[in-house]
Amino acid sequence: MELNHTHAPTARSWIAEANAAGADFPIQNLPLGVFRRAGSQEAFRGGIAIGEQVLDLGALAASDALAGLARQAARAAAQPVLNDLFALGPAAWRALRHGVFALLKEEEGTPGAARADAVRACRDCLVPQSAIEHALPARVGDYTDFYTSFDHAQSSARMVDPAAQVAANFRAMPIGYHGRASTVAVSGQAFHRPWGQNKMPWEAPPALYRPTRWLDYELEVAAWVGQGNRVGQPVPLAQAEEHLFGLGLLNDWSARDTQIWEMAPLGPFLAKSFATTVSPWIVTMEALAPYRTPWRHADEEPAPQPYLTTAANARAGAIDLRLEVWLQTGENRVEGARATRLSQTNFSHQYWTLAQMLTHHTSGGCSLQPGDLLGSGTVSGPAPEEAGCLLELTCGGRAPLRLNGGEQRTFLQDGDTVLLRGWCEAPGRPRIGFGECRGTVLPAIPAPMSSNAQTQEHFHA
């Protein structure tokens, strides 16, 4: 995607806080989400983050501030989910972004009457972010989680066998599995520690039915599918990003002890189906254009097959997206201790690009729909402090982490809150922030399916 005037580093908004250094939502960003005023019975509708405000797209569409395709796109985004906007395709997405950019941009000199009226209408459509609540930005029909970090794959394999190598198919294609869309929720999600059949590595079979003891997070990037494709029509790599609306953050919560027991032979099931948390704001692919970077593989790595290869993907298929994980414990909140940053990494480390993931997903004829969700898989880098989950950071629970306030963690405890943060920045360019993705662990519910907890504790296959 080529750069245009909406990427200009010198562009400023008449909304002053959008121009603050380090702000997540400058005028060059303009991410979309779904909101309403907190505690109200208003309908949820689409909005655009700018500074510390939200531009209400429902109110904007009802005004005369936008025209043509931009107004049509705003009307589609004024619904309780953004699926209708996604379905309109890149031309409409671009028209909305460019139309809103023009309205919010600071202009020199005295504006004409038409410009003044449009800005006045736009000002009337602003709602403070501090006064809103979010819903999922889209209706998620299907959710696919990939496994595309070489460093994560290698670290995980070597916890079982220090000499283990990443499976050959990992280098041949983006590996993924179908997740559970019904338990995807927006940032702020609180969920109960899941029950399941699980077994510690040192325990002999049979597994016990009990709450997970190895509860983990996974730092991932969420890719939201825009326009879909027809059944039986693969999406060529050169066109793959035309089917991606934008990116957010994703926490793929994982019950590791359940996962270890159930993985063979078909992969994750209950270990991944109880909760997935996504950030409320979607940063458009157009906004990310200045932060594209080459997709690089080591010389000894095999070349991908032709359907996963283009010069454009090699030149700029990766994204310089910086990511962090923070942990706030229940004790932190009581004692006032600050949260602990557990890791920092970069999305550009992934072995496969988002375009390659989407193209491979459709290569067998699978139909993607507007609002489908793709998870990147855990984002881990080559350094130990770049690991994207506790399984790696604690070496499978053998090396506890010391937190601010003196606590230790191998895996998550009840009351823990995990915060994911992400942003892009480059010399001479503003920071493009993703906001945060927050989720909290609640205690397990009483023993399900039986009033006899002892019976459940010893239930096994």
118 and 189 inside one domain: no
272 and 164 inside one domain: yes
Note the pLDDT of residue 201.
Answer: 77
369 and 277 inside one domain: yes
273 and 251 inside one domain: yes
Please report, for the domain that includes residue 291, its CATH number: 3.90.850.10
- Other CB atoms within 10 Å distance of the CB of residue 298: 6
User: How do residues 397-438 score in pLDDT, each as one tens digit?
Assistant: 999 999 998 999 999 999 999 999 999 999 999 999 999 999
170 and 241 inside one domain: yes
- Choosing from 135, 161, 179, the residue where a domain stops is 135
Note the pLDDT of residue 450.
Answer: 60
259 and 179 inside one domain: yes
297 and 382 inside one domain: yes
CB 176 within 8 A of CB 145: yes
Amino acid found at 122: C
Find the Cα–Cα–Cα–Cα dihedral 309, 383, 395, 149, rounded to 10°.
-10
Please report, for the domain that includes residue 36, its CATH number: 2.30.30.230
Domain ranges, residue 95: 5-135
On the question of a cis peptide bond just before residue 370, with omega within 30 degrees of 0, the verdict is no
- Choosing from 135, 153, 178, the residue where a domain stops is 135
d(CA 327, CA 343): 10
d(CA 281, CA 242): 19
Note the pLDDT of residue 288.
Answer: 98
175 and 229 inside one domain: yes
279 and 344 inside one domain: yes
Note the pLDDT of residue 156.
Answer: 87
Q: Which residues are catalytic?
A: 152
Q: What residues pair up with 48 in beta bridges, in sequence order?
A: 32, 55
Note the pLDDT of residue 257.
Answer: 94
To 5 degrees, how large is the angle CA 375–CA 217–CA 211?
120
User: How do residues 362-387 score in pLDDT, each as one tens digit?
Assistant: 999 999 999 999 999 999 999 999 99
223 and 159 inside one domain: yes
- Choosing from 117, 135, 153, the residue where a domain stops is 135
Domains contained in the chain, number: 2
71 and 154 inside one domain: no
To 5 degrees, how large is the angle CA 97–CA 103–CA 105?
95
* Alpha helices (runs of H) in 282-418, residue ranges in sequence order: 311-316, 330-335, 354-362, 390-393
322 and 347 inside one domain: yes
CB 290 within 8 A of CB 426: yes
* Residues of the chain with confidence (pLDDT) below 70: 449-461
